[in-house]
Structure 1
Amino acid sequence: MSQTLLPPGWVEKLCDPYAVLGISVIADDRQIFKRYHTLAKLLHPDRHAKNCNPDQKLATAIFSHLINPAYQQLKHRQKRLIAIAMLRSDARVSEQKPLSSQSAIAQEIMKMSTPEAELFYEEAIACYAEAQYKSLDQFYQVTQQITILNLVYLRLHKPDLFLPQKAVAIIPEVEVNPVELTLTDVKPVLTNYAQRHYQRAIEYVRLGKWVIAVQELRDAIKLEPNNSDYYALLGLVHLKQKFMGMARVYICQALKLNPQNSLALKYAPELKIKLGENTNPKSMAKAVSIAALLSRFTQRKGSQVKC
């Protein structure tokens, strides 16, 4: 797909600057700049031309007509508040629609408690951002999904959360490095399909490929929902991504299933988990279900985007 101009309607429909950049609606100055810098390296005309990519013209158009304007709007705090106000207006309009008429992802989030929705939102934004610009053919659909997430999130929070002095980052900047895992930490024994997912996840964790590792572990948990090793490693992956709430949930579940799980015991102190602490079974079931939810949306209708 190579075009001089953007497809009709893209500029009008992709009007959420946060979604265009692939960031949460409470991203701070540092996060906004860092994301823009990352996208500039991926799509800037000077850099993209060197790759001889057939999508060069589309990449240039996206960068010039969508990413640059979005960054110019969000780098100024006053304009940022205006953007939030406009998104809040859109969120109020969507709130008036029957839940059955809204997207499946919106329906699922609105059923969650606020803490559960927080956890899902931060993970989903990170996952979509990872996939957003890897395939320009999928950019439009992925960006629309991020917009839906942002609108639902705004429906769940009070306006004063977005005052400048209140702005805090949901996804903090973090240097991610490959993880050194020893044989005492994990058990890479191949006995079935679940174990094969687990083994692949171990390799991805060692390489620091968090998103792929999460997917493998989710698939393992679907097949063997009572294996503590899978939850423990998934907790570690979330910890390395600085998703502390999710990390704590999964490490707690690993210890609930096996109080002697070596990997869970190793990281429990860092998450301030007291040994013997219980996790609400219903909350855990919901956490697992929302963890699997994102992959269903990113793979539907022939999409090639995988998170």
Structure 2
Amino acid sequence: MKPDQGLFQFDFDDHHAVLGVPITADAKAVRKRYLAIARKLHPDSLSGATATQAQQASDVLSKLVNPAYEALSQEKSSTEHALVLKLKGQSLRQTGTAPPVTSALAQDLLKAAHIDAAYRQAVSGLAERQFDQLEVVSKVMGELSELNLVYLYRSSASDRTSSSQPARQTQARPNTPTTTASPLPRQNQAAILDSYINRAQEYEQNKDYSRAILELREAVKTYPHNGACHSYLAMLYFKAGQSTMARIHAKRALEINPNDERASQIQARVDKASGGSTTGSAKPSTAKGANPKTSDPKSSDRGGGFFGLFGGKKK
């Protein structure tokens, strides 16, 4: 068997599955796990291995582990990865049906009473033996990817239930005091949102799209269901030459408000710039703030994107 045969059977853009860490892992946990894997696959740790096994270890480290760690350790790519995970969870929630999974662990996780604890335990168990047999490393990563898929589905559904619960309690018992913190008044929310947008507009006028994008990303974190924020962020990404992210936010804006004219225009411009291809990219901007290296949409489009990566095994 050649070193790479049997190793790469699913979409390895699921960086958490490659490293064997939960999708909730912080930067410190990701680094700790990466260093442990690097030591395990280092030639000095493989003194009794055959030449074929040593080559397999080298391939796994250089072609899978290192790129995954790089993606999760860099702030920009990690933030964008987290955003796509969130959108994936929302997409799963909207389907209303459980994702199809094949591994016993993933099927058990679908029924687990305490999703967070069960998910962490399942990931930890697989991670312990993930790199023991390199011939089946893709199988283990595929199982991890299915666990990620189920967790996104279950946690998104839980978020939706918990967010609607206070409203139901208020309707059922209108005179009962509550200890739940009151949301900000609408005028305060509007003022905070305006501050983000105003700063972004100032940066945009100076063609400093990177900083404008940062402002809008913070706005989207605070107000994830504001379609205008998503459509404005889509426009900024397009101006910065990042068509993949422009497409993601334009799509989200249209999900919130199908009549969002700006989002429709951005979506059409992205499609036109890419020649109608869903994996194409707009011509990168050379304006201030559009780093040619970080603005390359190919870095986000590798391997078919995130929306088809979880739980799928390529044969």
Give the TM-score taking structure 1 as reference length: 0.44
Larger radius of gyration: 2
- TM superposition score normalised by structure 2: 0.43
